[in-house]
């Protein structure tokens, strides 16, 4: 759902990026980064990246600074600041294990690709190299754009949904927020049948694979405090986490909040799964990670520029809406 990309020192020397009359590449790249991408940098490369931005024409710098502030980024213990050090595109493709798109200066792109378009794609891995002038032609970013606003289909499995829509976001996030009016109800109904809700199990199974720790907050309707509904939900979570150490190791913290009906009528009628500030509006909520066949579901993912999900979180904790909460 998001595309992993990187660039080298030569990228910001591109004539396209230094022509004050051409803003298209700047507009596309900074917008795609914030909405659909994650910048992969060499270890300690953030400071140098900001220095490279300072060499751009003044009129373009601020949008790159803002993209650096809001866009996802990660550093890895590997260096590649100069793509020109690679003999050809085929050797550059070894970076495929780190990111999927390499943006570079047109001249470097031409030398590596042997193509005047400065654009090459590895047929085996899908790894792309694009010069600044053709940056908007990335198939990976186009695919991320398509996935961000296309329905989840009945033929999809929970595994497919997770890998295509959620895993790339989770991999580069620290906080996951779920707002789903019916999630606790599904957990309670499964418990009555002495089962564990498939969506709940799958969520923790998928999360545990990533080898990270997350702050997870789940807001749903779970009845009044100390009700049978509340107890069933609480026991379901604690039992599941005790049953598999990998599940509990995936958590930095877990907060459960039961909100009343007014909250879901007035504040959050729609269902959301948020990863830091990227928010997925999911028509069928956590059901899309449940047992097959899945119901067809609308899906829309975007960067939450105005902090709308955080506002909903805050509202759910107010006494007017909160019925109970638990934090581990």
| Segments of the chain with pLDDT less than 70 | none
Which of these, 148, 103, 92, 104, lies nearest to 302 by C-alpha position? Answer: 148
Cβ-Cβ contacts under 8 Å for 231 (sequence gap 6 or more): none
pLDDT at 276: 98
Residues 132 and 121: their CA atoms lie apart, in Å, by 15
What pLDDT does 308 receive? 97
pLDDT digit string (tens) for 207-220? 999 999 999 999 99
Helix 228-243, helix 183-192: angle, nearest 10: 80
| pLDDT tens per residue across span 1-10 | 899 999 998 9
Which pLDDT score is estimated for 208? 98
CA dihedral 241→244→249→251, nearest 10 degrees, is -30
**pTM > 0.75:** yes
And the tokens for 83? 């793509």
CA 204 – CA 241 distance, rounded (Å):
9
pLDDT value of position 64: 98
Q: How many CB atoms lie within 10 A of CB 210?
A: 14
C-alpha to C-alpha distance for 41 and 56, rounded to whole angstroms: 19
Buried b (16+ CB within 10 A) or exposed e, 297-318: bebebbbbeeeebeebbebbee
Question: Domains in the chain, please, with CATH?
Answer: 3-145 (no CATH), 150-327 (3.30.870.30)
Return the pLDDT at 115.
Answer: 78
């Amino acid at each position: 759902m998001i595309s992993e990309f990187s660039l080298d020192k030569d990228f910001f020397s591109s004539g396209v990026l230094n022509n004050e009359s051409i803003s298209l590449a700047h507009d596309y790249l900074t917008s795609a980064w914030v909405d659909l991408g994650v910048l992969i940098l060499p270890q300690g490369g953030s400071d140098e990246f900001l220095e490279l931005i300072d060499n751009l024409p003044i009129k373009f710098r601020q949008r790159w600074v803002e993209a650096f502030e809001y866009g996802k980024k990660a550093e890895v213990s590997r260096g590649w600041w100069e793509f020109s050090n690679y003999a050809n595109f085929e050797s550059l493709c070894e970076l495929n294990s780190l990111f999927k798109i390499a943006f570079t200066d047109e001249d470097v792109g031409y030398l590596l690709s042997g193509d005047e378009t400065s654009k090459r794609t590895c047929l085996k891995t899908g790894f792309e190299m694009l010069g600044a002038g053709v940056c908007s032609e990335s198939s990976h970013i186009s695919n991320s754009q398509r996935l961000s606003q296309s329905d989840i289909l009945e033929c999809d499995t929970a595994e497919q949904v997770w890998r295509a829509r959620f895993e790339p976001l989770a991999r580069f996030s620290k906080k996951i927020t779920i707002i789903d009016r019916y999630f606790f109800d599904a957990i309670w109904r499964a418990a009555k049948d002495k089962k564990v809700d498939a969506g709940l199990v799958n969520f923790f199974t998928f999360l545990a694979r990533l080898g990270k720790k997350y702050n997870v907050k789940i807001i749903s309707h779970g009845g009044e405090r100390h009700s049978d509904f509340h107890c069933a939900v609480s026991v379901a979570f604690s039992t599941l986490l005790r049953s598999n150490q990998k599940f509990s190791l995936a958590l930095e913290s877990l907060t459960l909040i039961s909100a009343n009906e007014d909250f879901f009528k007035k504040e959050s009628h729609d269902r959301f799964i948020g990863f830091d500030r990227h928010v997925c509006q999911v028509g069928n909520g956590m059901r899309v990670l449940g047992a097959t066949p899945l119901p067809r579901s609308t899906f829309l993912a975007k960067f939450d520029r105005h902090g709308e999900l955080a506002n909903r979180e805050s509202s759910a904790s107010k006494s007017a809406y909160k019925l109970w909460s638990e934090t581990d």
